[in-house]
Structure 1
Amino acid sequence: MTQAEASPYTFVVPDLSDDGLAAVTAEIASTATEYDRTGDLPWAGLEAAYRAGLLTATVGRQYGGPELGPKDTARILTALGEGDASVALIAANTLITHAGQAARPSWPTAYYDDLLRRSRTGPAPANAVRAEPELGAPARGGLPRTTVTRTADGWRLDGRKAYATGGAGLAYHVVWAVAVEPDGDPEKPRVGHVIVPGDLPGITWVPMWDHLGLRASNTHDVIYDNVELPADAFAEIPRGADGVYRDPAAAAGPGSFGHPALYIGVARAARSAFADYARTRIPAALGKPIAQTERIQAVAGEIDLQIAQAETLLYGALLRIEAGDTAFLPQLSAIKVAIARSVIAATQTAVAALGNPGLSRHNPLERHLRDALCIRVHPPQEDVVLLAGGRRVLSI
């Protein structure tokens, strides 16, 4: 019996044809403006992604899933990002969670079985909850103040986290914490993640998200107060050979390109919005659509160039990884930064060319620009990447 046959669940292989993905993009896009205005969780968009099998596309074969790889995952997230960046961000975190469990199982069996069960009946978002109000982004160093304390039956989770995308809609949280144990070394505490069902007692959401972009992502603060967990809920993150703990997100790795992919989708949406406006805008003094002018045609070409550059960087990196090329791995973080620059350049170029109409809330370009700017917040961030790259080049 194969692992997939041993699983009580079976997840469909999603339709990744251009037409199939375009249909999901269009359905999600139809509600994106409304959710951006209200800030509510984009359930309609998540439902569309769920029905298409896109939220479970990375579930491991041993769990009855299709276990799609990084290239297919990137295509999915680009399509979702083109529809609604908030939907795509929640989906990206969920797909990353499933992919991690497929490659390195670490969840309590009962908890992951429950997540799979929930994922069979509707959207079941999961996310790594890591940032803290005092610490900020963990990729910049430091240890969390959030703790899991050993109890007679398992663990007790306490602390406050920030920027927990998905909010109260999360089925499961993967919480970064320090272990507090009677026989532990306080100088070298164990650091890891605890798997937390989102509906346990002791979890309180603090609505803090009032952001420029990704307004429907519900990236709120969350407080854990005496949340009781089983003994197998904690998975330690190993220290390096030198005994020092380094945050896994401090540098890009082979699985780090889901977030950039979704923002390429945002840039694509900006390109479409620009083209739609240019084809229909007929100034009285011109007497024809501005799309027929060389200036607007050149702007459209610049937007397309930036998107082509971002896509080539993304899929070029994934293909090299797939081929086993390890020589360029130190440059993965720089590639992420370059993708971010192209995404932002594409959307800013579109908005700048249209002037006031591009900044009007009646025009989707305004939302796409706000969403695109959020690519900068995902670790590793540009200043850290450039510093590390410079030191590597200079051998210092």
Structure 2
Amino acid sequence: MSIETPTAERPGRTTPPITAPLLDGQILLARARKLAAEFATRAEHHDQTAQPPAAQIQELFQADLLRLTIARRDGGHGSGLLLARQIVQTLAKGDPSVALIASMHYSQHAGIARSQRQREPSLAFWPTALAQQLTQQALHAPALINAVQVEPALGSPSHGGLPATVARRVGDEWHISGHKIYSTGSHLLSWLSVLAVTDEEQPRIGQFLVPKDSPGVRLVETWDPLGMRATVSHDFIFEDVAIPVQQVAGLYSAEHGQQRDEYAFAWYLNLVGSIYTGVAEAALDWIADFLLERKPSALKGASLASLPTVQDSVGRIRLLLHTSNTLLDAHAQAFDARQPFAELGSTARYVAMEHAAKATALALELAGNHGISRHNALERHFRNAQCGQIHAPSAALIRGNAGREWFKVRQKATALAADRD
């Protein structure tokens, strides 16, 4: 497959949007709505062919939406999580695969911006020169970046354990070898943030920044899923890939295993929840129009939408999505206001995924045979919504963590009550 995409060395000949003024959030949202409507007309094609949405990414860049979370002082819009989630959810109503690819790029640049504001070593520390290099390329071309972390044996890093991907120090270089799977946006990426462990006597773990077109990087097309097909989440094989020694972010001791960056995790949880809520909203729009238009002869000119049982089911869908949106908004607002957000994030993500699956299933039930026809978009929305269940952390892990935390709370409360007695 031949696809013309920018690379770290070849940013592409594109008019840079950095010359444009910073835009109000409502203007950016309006642009996202317009693009989402355009993307929706091509979503079926990408679902059928599983081709990368290269043109859509270029259009996001031209609409000035790819610099959304780049810091203002560096030429970006400096968006917080709330605006980012609104834009991602809007895009997802048109094509959730495009929205997922964009969301990963947004999350990475939000992390870079935060690292440069703090300017102190941490789990998410980006060296200034590296941060500036990635930022400048993203301002002048759709130079997408994503973290590639999941491995065949390790699975998702959210379950613990160290990656099998190894970084060896060779003079002034790191040499990376390993195998990553489920790499969202694979064909379209310019940079791969590769989770790896060093082979030092005292191993360290970090994100090693690899230009996708580096010698030794091999893309293997393995992605052939039920839904979200245009995310092109293929495999990458790294065979002794050399990068400069300073091209690593967040390098820390591996003695106690992986440590999670709670700020980056908050972005991930909220944006993936927003994407699948957008999918369910698209399903709700479709089923509402279908029910208004269908006028069976038995109803003597009235539409299916006039039936109380149908109204009840559509009301259930609306309430499911209202709950998801309320939680996702609350989480984003707490995060942006620097209020406690961790538990709310897991809850919002869990509810959003569960409700998206339920909402699309209800819509399918209302549509009957029309809902499972490949001629109708609802069938695609249903398949896409099911894919939300596989995003880490799993629903079972979130529930288990919530249960363990509650047992701790009750044990502490019992102990305090006993002390008072």
Using the size of structure 2 for normalisation, the TM-score is 0.84
Aligned position for 1:230: 244
Correspondence 1:353-368 to 2 at 5 A: 353-368=366-381
Aligned position for 1:202: 216
User: Is the alpha carbon distance of 1:337 and 1:268 closer, same or farther for their aligned partners in structure 2, counting shifts above 3 Å?
Assistant: same
Distance in 1 of aligned mates of 2:264 and 2:386? 19
Aligned position for 1:4: none
- Residues matched between the structures, number: 381
Distance in 2 of aligned mates of 1:123 and 1:153? 29
User: Which shifted more, 85-94 or 309-318?
Assistant: 309-318
Out of 292, 297, 321, the position equivalent to 1:279 is: 292
Residue identity (%): 35
Answering whether residue 79 of structure 2 is matched by residue 68 of structure 1, we say yes
Give the gaps of 5 or more residues in structure 1.
Answer: 1-7
User: Is the alpha carbon distance of 1:371 and 1:249 closer, same or farther for their aligned partners in structure 2, counting shifts above 3 Å?
Assistant: farther
User: Is the alpha carbon distance of 1:292 and 1:15 closer, same or farther for their aligned partners in structure 2, counting shifts above 3 Å?
Assistant: farther
**Deviation at residue 62 of structure 1 after TM alignment:** 3.2
**Deviation at residue 251 of structure 1 after TM alignment:** 10
Letter in 1 for 2:267: G
Distance in 1 of aligned mates of 2:144 and 2:20? 16
Out of 302, 312, 315, the position equivalent to 1:298 is: 312
Give the gaps of 5 or more residues in structure 2.
Answer: 1-16, 117-124, 412-421
Answering whether residue 356 of structure 2 is matched by residue 343 of structure 1, we say yes
Distance in 2 of aligned mates of 1:214 and 1:14? 30
Aligned 8 A contact 1:32 1:83 in 2: yes
User: Is the alpha carbon distance of 1:12 and 1:83 closer, same or farther for their aligned partners in structure 2, counting shifts above 3 Å?
Assistant: farther
**Deviation at residue 297 of structure 1 after TM alignment:** 2.1
Out of 349, 355, 369, the position equivalent to 2:382 is: 369
Aligned position for 2:88: 77
Aligned 8 A contact 1:9 1:63 in 2: no
After superposition, the C-alpha distances for 1:49-70 in whole angstroms (9 at most, x for unaligned) are: 2222222100112321111000
**Deviation at residue 119 of structure 1 after TM alignment:** 3.0
User: Which shifted more, 312-321 or 172-181?
Assistant: 312-321
Distance in 2 of aligned mates of 1:364 and 1:203? 37
User: Is the alpha carbon distance of 1:15 and 1:355 closer, same or farther for their aligned partners in structure 2, counting shifts above 3 Å?
Assistant: farther
**What secondary structure, in the 3-state scheme, does the structure 2 residue paired with 1:223 have?**
strand
Correspondence 1:126-275 to 2 at 5 A: 126-181=145-200, 184-185=201-202, 189-238=203-252, 244-248=256-260, 253-256=265-268, 257-275=270-288
User: Is the alpha carbon distance of 1:251 and 1:132 closer, same or farther for their aligned partners in structure 2, counting shifts above 3 Å?
Assistant: farther
Aligned position for 1:321: 335
Aligned position for 2:138: 119
Distance in 2 of aligned mates of 1:150 and 1:324? 38
User: Is the alpha carbon distance of 1:10 and 1:111 closer, same or farther for their aligned partners in structure 2, counting shifts above 3 Å?
Assistant: farther
**What secondary structure, in the 3-state scheme, does the structure 2 residue paired with 1:57 have?**
coil
Distance in 1 of aligned mates of 2:67 and 2:25? 13
After superposition, the C-alpha distances for 1:20-49 in whole angstroms (9 at most, x for unaligned) are: 332121111111111111100012322232
Distance in 2 of aligned mates of 1:196 and 1:12? 31
Aligned 8 A contact 2:60 2:66 in 1: yes
Distance in 2 of aligned mates of 1:211 and 1:178? 30
User: Is the alpha carbon distance of 1:215 and 1:307 closer, same or farther for their aligned partners in structure 2, counting shifts above 3 Å?
Assistant: same
User: Which shifted more, 245-254 or 363-372?
Assistant: 245-254
**What secondary structure, in the 3-state scheme, does the structure 1 residue paired with 2:208 have?**
strand
**What secondary structure, in the 3-state scheme, does the structure 1 residue paired with 2:224 have?**
coil
Letter in 2 for 1:13: L
- Structure number having the greater helix percentage: 2
Structural RMSD (CA)? 2.4
Using the size of structure 1 for normalisation, the TM-score is 0.89
User: Is the alpha carbon distance of 1:300 and 1:252 closer, same or farther for their aligned partners in structure 2, counting shifts above 3 Å?
Assistant: farther
Out of 326, 329, 341, the position equivalent to 1:312 is: 326
**What secondary structure, in the 3-state scheme, does the structure 1 residue paired with 2:142 have?**
coil
Aligned 8 A contact 2:272 2:349 in 1: no
